[in-house]
């Protein structure tokens, strides 16, 4: 045999062995998270209310884990689907439907302990310790106040159980390996005092940041936080882009008053707006207007406004909607 060819074979075999070892290592050593904590949440009415406020509002659990009626403007929640799951969040990463988080014993999380639910929300692994995709934003929830997470659990335990079997996610390779390495132990942060308006606004705007900030390789681009332009498939076709939320006067929301900002949420959730019928090829949005607009208080939306206004203005013009080709005037 040709000497060169022999070396090539050895080389090739070594690469295969290293790759197999790496694959085996990641498969068996990750995800690296602690055992589910041994906790028993004793719900109070106050906790359930707080949990509901967050689940519908700033934590967006109910947005992702329920059905939205996109035949109506702003896609209000379909009643009776609270927590039943099903929306696909995988896009390029595979098929990753939001799961059933109602207390149904067979198809939901009725059989999970409080600690297992707590671990799923804040560390990103399911009951069996298998990783969840980060489109379930556990890396954000890992920075919330621990008591807020407990309140959310107290609330989702009160959802009416819905029987809805969700097929298990199918991550593509190599995403399946990468996703195994992301779960980690949480770094909780206390809910800032209500007097510290900017810190409160920062705490509550984490979800806004996630949708409104451009990313590169899974990380926010520091100089572009809240500057918008992030593209989403529009619910009725075309592309919808997150708005520029920085205080830039021309391209951001620098000219908006706090009252206008709060009013935009209220009017966007009003029956006059959400009864407007949207047809295929027309604008509709993934922005959870109806959820925030129905539950978030003036005080907390005001804090988010103040926090956004404290950010650096970024000039970035965003075309909010492009209709699908066959509907656009050419
Ligand atoms: C941006 C959308 C999104 C938001 C917001 C979101 N989730 Fe999820 N969640 C998902 C997706 C998608 C999955 C499935 C991930 C997978 O299968 O890998 C999931 C999985 C879960 C699971 C695991 C269930 C199981 O059977 O394995 C729990 C529990 C859960 N979410 C609870 C919550 C709670 C509570 C909140 C709010 C604090 C929340 N989620 C917010 C999208 C979301
Ligand atoms: C699921 C992704 C998503 C989340 C979460 C989200 N947004 Fe949006 N937002 C969008 C998209 C897409 C648009 C553009 C389409 C529209 O106006 O609805 C938008 C538009 C807006 C606008 C309109 C700006 C204008 O110029 O008309 C404001 C204000 C806004 N978002 C504020 C917020 C705030 C504050 C939060 C958090 C409390 C938030 N958004 C969370 C996706 C999101």
Distance between CA atoms of residues 107 and 101, nearest Å: 9
Q: For 240-267, how does the pLDDT look when each residue is reduced to its tens digit (9 = 90+)?
A: 999 999 999 999 999 999 999 999 999 9
pTM: 0.94
CA-atom Rg of the chain in angstroms: 22
Instruction: Give the range among 74-83, 210-219, 282-291 with minimum mean pLDDT.
Output: 210-219
201 and 157 within one domain = no
Instruction: Name residues whose C-beta falls within 8 Å of residue 93's C-beta, 6 or more positions apart in sequence.
Output: 133, 135, 171, 172, 175, 179
Shared domain for 157 and 231, answered yes or no, is no
Domain boundary among 181, 211, 239: 181
Q: What CA–CA distance (Å, rounded) separates 289 from 291?
A: 6
Question: What number of CA atoms fall less than 13 Å from residue 214's CA on the CB side?
Answer: 14
> Of how many residues is the chain composed?
330
Nearest atom (ligand 1) to Cα of 133: 18
**pLDDT single digits (tens) 227-240:** 999 999 999 999 99
Do the Cβ atoms of 54 and 291 come closer than 8 Å? no
Indicate the residue among 154, 181, 208 that finishes a domain. Answer: 181
Could you list the residue range(s) of the whole structural domain that residue 293 is in?
A: 197-327
pLDDT tens-digit series, residues 312-329:
999 999 999 999 987 765
Quick check: 245 and 264 in contact, CB under 8 A? no
As to burial, measured by CB atoms within 10 angstroms (0-12 exposed, 13-18 middle, 19+ buried), residue 106 is exposed
Q: Which residues contact 31 (CB under 8 A, 6 or more apart)?
A: 123, 124, 125, 129, 130, 131, 180, 181, 182, 183, 184
Q: Residue 271 above 70 pLDDT?
A: yes
Reply yes or no on whether the pLDDT at 114 is more than 60.
yes
Whether 165 shows a pLDDT value over 90: the answer reads: yes
Query: Residue 8: inside a domain, yes or no?
Result: no
Report the number of distinct structural domains present in the chain: 2
Q: How far is CA 273 from its chain centroid?
A: 25
Give the per-residue pLDDT at 302: 98
Specify if 33 maps to a domain.
Answer: no
Residues 54 and 163 in one domain: yes
Dihedral through CA 19, CA 23, CA 28, CA 30, nearest 10? 120
What residues does ligand 2 touch, defined as CB less than 6 Å away? 58, 60, 205, 207-208, 211-212, 232, 240, 242-243, 245, 253, 264, 285-288, 292, 304, 320
* Residue 33: count of CB within 10 angstroms of its CB: 17
pLDDT at 1: 62
pLDDT band at 121 (very low <50, low <70, confident <90, very high): very high
Q: State the CATH number of the domain containing residue 67.
A: 1.10.760
Q: What is the pLDDT of residues 5-64, one digit of tens each?
A: 788 888 888 888 888 888 888 888 899 899 999 999 999 999 999 999 999 999 999 999
Residue 57: its pLDDT value, please? 98
Q: Give whole-number Cα distances, 182 to 29, 30, 267, in Å.
A: 12, 9, 39
**In terms of domains, do 308 and 215 share one?**
yes
Q: What's the CA-to-centroid distance between 256 and ligand 2, angstroms? A: 14
Q: What are the residues whose beta carbons fall under 8 Å from the beta carbon of 185, sequence distance 6 or more?
A: 33, 34, 123, 142
* Ligand with an atom nearest the CA of residue 240: 2
Same domain? For 152 and 226 the reply is no
- Domain finish residue from 123, 146, 181: 181
Residues 176 and 74 in one domain: yes
Distance, CA of 106 to chain centre: 25
Average pLDDT, the chain: 95
Atom of ligand 1 nearest to the CA of 149: 38
pLDDT-based confidence at 285, cuts 50/70/90?
very high
Residues 6+ apart with CB under 8 A from 244: 212, 226, 227, 228, 229, 251, 252, 253, 314, 316, 317, 318
Residue 19 domain flag: no
C-alpha 295/C-alpha 247 separation (Å) is 25
Distances from the Cα of 15 to the Cαs of 27, 28, 105, in angstroms? 18, 20, 46
- Residue minimizing CA distance to atom 36 of ligand 2: 208
Neighbours of 189 (CB within 10 A): 15
Nearest atom in ligand 2 to 308's CA: 35
Residue 59 and residue 159 share a domain: yes
Q: Are 140 and 58 in contact (CB under 8 A)?
A: no
What region, left, alpha or beta, does residue 18 occupy, with left being phi > 0 and alpha being psi -120 to 50 degrees?
alpha
CB 202 within 8 A of CB 307: yes
| Domain identity same for 61 and 173 | yes
Closest by Cα among 217, 173, 186 to 26:
173
Mean pLDDT along residues 188-198: 97
- Identity of the highest mean pLDDT range in 216-220, 290-294, 324-328: 290-294
pLDDT band at 149 (very low <50, low <70, confident <90, very high): very high
The CA distance from 309 to 127, in Å, is 41
The confidence score (pLDDT) of residue 329 equals 57
Measured distance CA(92)–CA(78) in Å, rounded: 26
Q: Measured from the CB, is residue 89 less than 6 Å from ligand 1? A: yes
**pLDDT of 330 over the 60 cut:** no
């Amino acid at each position: 045999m040709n000497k060169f060819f022999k070396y090539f074979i050895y080389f090739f075999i070594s690469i295969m062995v290293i790759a197999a070892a790496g694959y085996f290592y990641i498969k068996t050593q990750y995800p690296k998270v602690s055992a589910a904590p041994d906790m028993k949440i004793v719900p109070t009415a106050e906790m359930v209310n707080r949990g509901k406020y967050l689940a519908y509002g700033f934590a967006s659990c109910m947005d992702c884990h329920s059905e939205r009626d996109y035949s109506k403007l702003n896609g209000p929640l379909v009643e009776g689907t609270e927590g039943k799951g099903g929306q696909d969040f995988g896009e390029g990463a595979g098929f990753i439907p939001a799961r059933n988080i109602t207390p149904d014993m067979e198809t939901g999380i009725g059989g999970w302990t409080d600690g297992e639910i707590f671990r799923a929300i804040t560390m990103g692994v399911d009951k069996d310790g298998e990783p969840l995709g980060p489109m379930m934003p556990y890396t954000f929830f890992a920075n919330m106040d621990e008591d807020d997470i407990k309140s959310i659990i107290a609330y989702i335990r009160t959802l009416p159980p819905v029987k809805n079997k969700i097929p298990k996610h199918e991550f593509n390779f190599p995403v399946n390996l990468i996703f195994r390495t992301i779960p980690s132990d949480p770094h909780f942060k206390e809910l800032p005092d209500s007097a510290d308006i900017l810190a409160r606004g920062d705490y509550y705007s984490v979800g806004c940041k996630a949708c409104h900030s451009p990313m590169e390789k899974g990380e926010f681009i520091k100089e572009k936080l809240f500057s918008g332009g992030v593209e989403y498939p529009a619910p009725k076709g075309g592309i919808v882009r997150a708005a520029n939320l920085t205080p830039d006067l021309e391209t951001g929301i620098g000219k908006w008053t706090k009252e206008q900002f709060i009013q935009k949420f209220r009017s966007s959730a009003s029956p006059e707006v959400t009864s407007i019928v949207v047809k295929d090829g027309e604008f509709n949005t993934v922005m959870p207007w109806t959820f925030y607009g129905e539950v978030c208080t003036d005080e907390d939306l005001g804090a988010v406004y103040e926090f956004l206004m404290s950010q650096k203005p970024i000039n970035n013009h965003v075309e909010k909607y492009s209709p699908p080709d066959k509907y656009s005037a050419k």
